[in-house]
Amino acid sequence: MSNTITGTDFNFPGQKSVYRGKVREVYNINDELLVMIATDRLSAFDVIMPKGIPYKGQILNQIATKFMRLTEDVVPNWLIDTPDPNVAVGYVCEPFKVEMVIRGYLAGHAAREYAEGKRVLCGVELPEGLKENDKFPSPIITPTTKADNGEHDMDISRADIITKGIVSEEDYTVLEKYTRDLFQKGTEIAASHGLILVDTKYEFGRTKDGRIVLIDEIHTPDSSRYFYAEGYEQRQNRGEAQKQLSKEFVRQWLIAHGFQGKEGQQIPDMDDEYITSVSERYIELYENIIGEKFSKADISDIHNRIEKNVLAFLNK
């Protein structure tokens, strides 16, 4: 699996700093532009897996770009251009230190918490009598702290975010509105492709001129969970698992192999056959979420391709 990009070490003209997240690496150019490179790293349970997934970075970047364009009339975003399949370039922003998670259904982390008997999640009361993957009466916002490298994101309530001064009440009110507006738009787009947008997370930042904008990714399989709409009701009524589009399949594989990111647990080995299957699954996710065939970029020398394309953009 040598044709993947799991890390970068570029030195672009005007480069001030580099931030390396779980999946993306962000280059600050003259405190004006951010060059965001989507790597092929795979993160689950806030742990980066040892091997990259071919085309994953391209898939995430192209889905995020597509949805940025489709939602820019709803919420402003940071994006300027995408000079390479793995690269997005946008305005420098100061990120808010929370991730805005919004859930339309009891799934994933929320379902695991609910199964343990918890009925309050991030300060939000959950109704009694729900089954996993049931729809909430209305979408709920369950924020998390935005973790530094190597740390786990932590659930946090609206009240604590404001009381602790992480985000002002005035700004948080804007983040809530943008989150609900984006989720509504994403739900409509998903429905047009026969999908249900189950839950997702958004990140926001402030531009140098003071605007609050959407940053990072949007509605990708790394940040979102989708169900197939066809058969959803029947599967719920029969108590069956939902057919879904997200990286939950990776989490379930890891859980089945004894790993949930907890102390002392070893990451199970992912052989080439499994890595290839994950890559194929991500391509399937792309084609279903976007509604068009995925076009594989040339990955014979990804580092040089990216460097060439970014330099051409910066020199324009």
Instruction: Give per-residue pLDDT as tens, 4-49.
Output: 999 999 999 999 999 998 899 999 999 999 999 999 999 888 888 9
| Position 264 in a domain | no
For residues 164 and 108, membership in a common domain is answered with: yes
Residues 40 and 127 in one domain: no
Tallying the residues shown for the chain, one arrives at: 316
Residue 239 structure tokens: 């108590």
Position 80 in a domain: yes
CATH code, 222: 3.30.470.20
| Same-domain status, 51 and 166 | no
Q: Do the domain assignments include residue 251? A: no
> Which helix (H) or strand (E) segment is 286 a member of?
helix 272-290
118 with 196, same domain: the answer is yes
Distance CA 50, CA 41 (A): 8
For residues 49 and 136, state if they share a domain: no
* Judgement on whether residues 285 and 167 belong to the same structural domain of the protein: no
**CA-CA distance, 142 to 163, in Å (whole number)?**
16
Is position 250 within any domain?
no
Looking up residue 34, the CATH number of its domain turns out to be 3.30.200.20
- How much is the CA Rg of the chain, to the nearest whole Å? 19
Q: Is residue 184 part of a domain?
A: yes
Beta-carbon contacts of residue 304 (< 8 Å; ≥ 6 apart): none
- Residue 249's pLDDT is 83
Note whether residue 69 is domain-resident: yes
Give a yes or no: residue 253 inside a domain.
Answer: no
What is the rounded CA–CA span in Å between residue 40 and residue 25? 11
Q: Which two tokens stand for residue 149?
A: 């490298």
User: Is the pLDDT score of 2 beyond 80?
Assistant: no
Inform me whether the pLDDT recorded for 166 exceeds 90: yes
Cβ neighbours of 153 (radius 10 Å): 17
Same domain, 176 and 235: yes
pLDDT band (50, 70, 90) for residue 285: confident
**Cα–Cα distance, 178 to 183 (Å, whole number):** 8
Quickly state the pLDDT bin for 215 (edges 50, 70, 90): very high
Query: Same domain, yes or no, for 277 and 210?
Result: no
By the 10 Å C-beta count (0-12 exposed, 13-18 middle, 19+ buried), 15 is classed as: middle
CA distance 41 to 180: 29
Number of domains in the chain: 2
Mean pLDDT of all residues in 96-123:
96
Residue 43's pLDDT is what? 87
Q: What is the extent of the structural domain holding 62?
A: 15-94+270-314
Is 218 contained in some domain? yes
Contact 210, 75 (CB under 8 A): no
Residue pair 102/180 in contact (Cβ under 8 Å)? The answer is yes
Is-contact 37 306, C-beta < 8 A?
Answer: yes
Q: Where are the alpha helices (DSSP H) in 89-231?
A: 108-115, 158-163, 169-192
The crossing angle, in degrees rounded to 10, of helices 272-290 and 56-71 is 20
- What is the phi-psi region of residue 122: left when phi exceeds 0, alpha when psi lies from -120 to 50, beta otherwise? left
Do 127 and 31 sit in the same domain of this protein?
no
User: Quick one: 228 and 129 in the same domain?
Assistant: yes
Residue 221 has pLDDT above 90, yes or no: no
Q: What is the mean pLDDT of the segment spanning 166-182?
A: 98
69 and 123 housed in the same domain: no
Q: How confident is the model at residue 1 (pLDDT cuts 50, 70, 90)?
A: very low
Pair (80, 141) in one structural domain: no
